[in-house]
């Protein structure tokens, strides 16, 4: 991947003091954390990208944007659980969306914090959640078609848990909502996977979330102790809905289709995905599958829809960041924007996220540190589990024991990227390891082949599995991959 910013360039931010200099002398920094559902690592500040994300681009120009950030699990709930706890999955249950809803509320509060947010709360932070931070759309445990419960998904993490469900009535209805107030559930899935409506930003849920975040920032400004504000935006998760003006940013005919729209060579269909989440939107014009591709015209339509939804979410981030600056809170607030996983937009003949390929595992990650003079696109490999210890190091709080992640705080104050890192991801009865050059995936199943190797130097699109003809490379990398086996699978 190439970039519009020089990869290792150091840009100077004119305003601000030296890196972190004010934190030790005054109160600890605030934290503004923004989670964006399904936001893959395709942003406007990456070269050859057609997507428009001007607010994220502006944030990246004043901070550090990681090109090779990888999640632990390519599904929402499990990815967020690993990120929030700083721990890799070690049980099959930890690969599912409901791991937090099923287990966290039933645990008594213990010495080990349930999440890094709980750890911040114990260390004097006022914690506020708005929208989807854990897996639940509004932080409460209930089913898609049930009434909102009073049981929080993270019972020890929040001082305040807020959400404006607007005309949709519940968080899950809003999550799958359309502009007329209906949702995927109420319409019995007789809906399209996208929508462009003549409404303003408040016509969809993320606009209400941004509005609520702005209001809460104004209230938090006058607090005497630091805050953690978590804001969870839904888009660009399916359905790809956005006000018409965000669709109008693009000429659909000029949106490029995937460069690798066919199934990779030398790979079992068991490693791939039938795009079931995408196909359940019954009024979609075409269905995706491993036995057929979308037409080029419809592929452009769906990619256009994803781009519009991402641009809508970007605009909401812009509103929140503008308010942070207007209140002068930006001078003492760490900003983090994180995508919970990637998404195949037709690559490998897939429309979805549940695979161990790069497109599903590589997501957006941007850090902005107040007072820092470092601004760069960073090509170091980092993982979601690294964010917990990184944030604690930046703030000056000791980590609890047992974290799997490692702090990359040093990268945030260096103009250089770092080589030699690896990232581990888990799904589909497999473990995938990303190094600077290779992706090695091992599946614990009967369907062959169980080993996949991709050389990102010659095949960055992961189109050809070269494991069979490169046994020496596999043998060299396999011990490193096995280090990532947390006990999730038998080691053999």
Task: Break the chain into its structural domains and give their ranges.
Answer: 30-421
- Rounded mean pLDDT, 216-242: 97
- Rounded mean pLDDT, 315-337: 98
- Rounded mean pLDDT, 428-437: 98
* Tally of helices (H runs) and strands (E runs) in the chain: 12, 16
pLDDT beyond 60 at 492: no
The candidate with the shortest Cα–Cα distance to 134, out of 84, 173, 87, 93, is 84
Q: Please calculate the CA angle 448-452-458 and round it to the nearest 5 degrees.
A: 145
- Rounded mean pLDDT, 229-255: 99
Cα 130 → chain centroid:
16
> Residue 16's pLDDT is what?
34
> Residue 47's pLDDT is what?
84
- Rounded mean pLDDT, 456-471: 98
Q: Which residues pair with 427 in a beta bridge?
A: 430
Q: Please calculate the CA angle 340-366-387 and round it to the nearest 5 degrees.
A: 65
Q: What is the CA radius of gyration of the chain?
A: 21
> Residue 490's pLDDT is what?
82
pLDDT beyond 70 at 444: yes
- Rounded mean pLDDT, 328-349: 98
pLDDT beyond 70 at 22: no
DSSP 93: G
Q: Is 297 helix (H, G, I), strand (E, B) or coil?
A: helix
- Is the C-alpha dihedral spanning 129, 236, 346, 143 positive or negative? positive
Token pair 């639940």 in the structure block, residue: 136
Q: Is 201 helix (H, G, I), strand (E, B) or coil?
A: helix
What's the rounded Cα separation, in Å, for the pair 108 and 106?
7
At a CB cut-off of 8 Å and minimum separation 6, what does 388 contact?
Answer: 83, 84, 85, 86, 116, 399, 403, 405
Residue spans of beta strands (DSSP E) within 373-467: 376-383, 423-427, 430-434, 438-443, 451-455
Q: Identify the H or E element spanning 241.
A: strand 240-243
* Residue 62 CA neighbour count, 13 Å, CB half: 19
pLDDT beyond 90 at 107: yes
Q: Please calculate the CA angle 249-342-426 and round it to the nearest 5 degrees.
A: 175
Q: What count of other Cβ atoms lies within 10 Å of the Cβ of residue 147? A: 8
pLDDT beyond 50 at 87: yes
Q: Identify the H or E element spanning 278.
A: helix 276-279
> Residue 208's pLDDT is what?
99
Give me the CATH code for the 30-421 domain, please: 3.40.720.10
- Rounded mean pLDDT, 270-289: 97
Token pair 């104050």 in the structure block, residue: 413
> Residue 24's pLDDT is what?
38
> Residue 382's pLDDT is what?
99
- Which tens digits make up the pLDDT trace of 366-404? 999 999 999 999 999 999 999 999 999 999 999 999 999
The token pair at 264 is: 């990779």
Across the chain, what does the average pLDDT equal?
94
Confidence band of 26 (pLDDT split at 50, 70, 90) = very low
- For residues 37 and 237, the answer to whether their CB atoms sit within 8 Å is yes
> Residue 8's pLDDT is what?
35
Residue 124 burial by CB count (10 A; 0-12/13-18/19+): exposed, middle or buried?
exposed
> Residue 48's pLDDT is what?
85
Which residues are identified as catalytic? 76, 135
What's the rounded Cα separation, in Å, for the pair 258 and 134?
31
> Residue 25's pLDDT is what?
31
pLDDT beyond 60 at 455: yes
Q: Which residues pair with 423 in a beta bridge?
A: 434
pLDDT beyond 90 at 472: yes
What's the rounded Cα separation, in Å, for the pair 122 and 225?
12
- Rounded mean pLDDT, 118-130: 98
């Amino acid at each position: 991947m190439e970039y519009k910013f020089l990869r290792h360039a150091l840009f100077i931010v004119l305003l601000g003091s030296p890196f972190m200099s004010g934190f030790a002398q005054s109160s600890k920094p605030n934290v503004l954390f923004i989670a964006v559902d399904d936001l893959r690592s395709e942003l406007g500040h990456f070269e050859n990208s057609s997507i428009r994300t001007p607010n994220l681009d502006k944030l990246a120009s004043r901070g550090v944007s990681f090109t090779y950030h990888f999640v632990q699990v390519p599904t929402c709930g499990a990815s967020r659980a690993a990120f929030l706890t700083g721990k890799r999955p070690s049980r099959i249950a930890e690969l599912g969306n409901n791991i937090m809803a099923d287990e966290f509320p039933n645990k008594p509060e213990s010495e080990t914090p349930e999440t890094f947010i709980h750890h911040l709360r114990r260390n004097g932070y006022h914690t506020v959640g708005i929208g989807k931070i854990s897996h639940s759309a509004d932080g409460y445990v209930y089913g898609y078609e049930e009434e909102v419960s009073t049981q929080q998904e993270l019972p020890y993490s929040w001082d305040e848990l807020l959400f404006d469900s607007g005309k949709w009535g519940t968080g899950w209805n809003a999550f799958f909502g359309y502009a007329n107030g209906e949702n995927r559930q109420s319409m019995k899935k007789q809906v399209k996977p996208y929508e462009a409506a003549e409404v303003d930003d408040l016509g969809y849920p993320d606009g209400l979330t941004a509005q609520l975040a702005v209001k809460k920032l104004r209230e938090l400004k006058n607090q005497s102790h630091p805050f953690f504000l978590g804001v969870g935006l839904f888009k660009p998760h399916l359905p790809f809905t956005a006000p018409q003006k965000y669709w109008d940013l693009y000429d659909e005919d000029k949106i490029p289709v995937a460069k690798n729209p066919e199934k990779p060579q030398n790979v079992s269909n068991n490693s791939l995905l039938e795009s079931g989440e995408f196909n359940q939107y019954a009024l979609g014009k075409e269905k995706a599958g491993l036995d057929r591709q979308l037409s080029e015209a419809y592929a452009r339509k769906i990619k256009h829809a994803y781009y519009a939804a991402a641009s809508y979410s970007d605009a909401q981030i812009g509103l929140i960041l503008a308010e942070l600056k207007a209140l002068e809170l930006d001078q003492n607030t760490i900003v983090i924007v994180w995508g919970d996983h990637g998404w195949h937009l037709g690559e490998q003949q897939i429309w979805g996220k549940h695979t161990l390929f790069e497109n599903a595992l590589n997501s957006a990650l941007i850090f902005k540190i107040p007072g820092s003079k470092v601004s760069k696109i960073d090509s170091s490999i980092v993982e979601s589990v690294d964010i917990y210890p990184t944030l604690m190091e930046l703030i000056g709080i000791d980590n609890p024991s047992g974290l799997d992640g490692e702090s990359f705080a040093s990268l945030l104050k260096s103009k250089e990227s770092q080589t030699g890192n690896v990232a581990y991801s888990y799904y589909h009865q497999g473990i995938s390891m990303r190094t600077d050059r290779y992706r090695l995936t091992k599946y614990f199943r009967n369907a062959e082949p169980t080993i996949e190797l991709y050389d990102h130097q010659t095949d960055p699109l992961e189109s050809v599995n070269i494991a069979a003809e490169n046994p020496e490379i596999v043998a060299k990398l396999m011990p490193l991959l096995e280090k990532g086996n947390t006990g999730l699978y038998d080691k053999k």
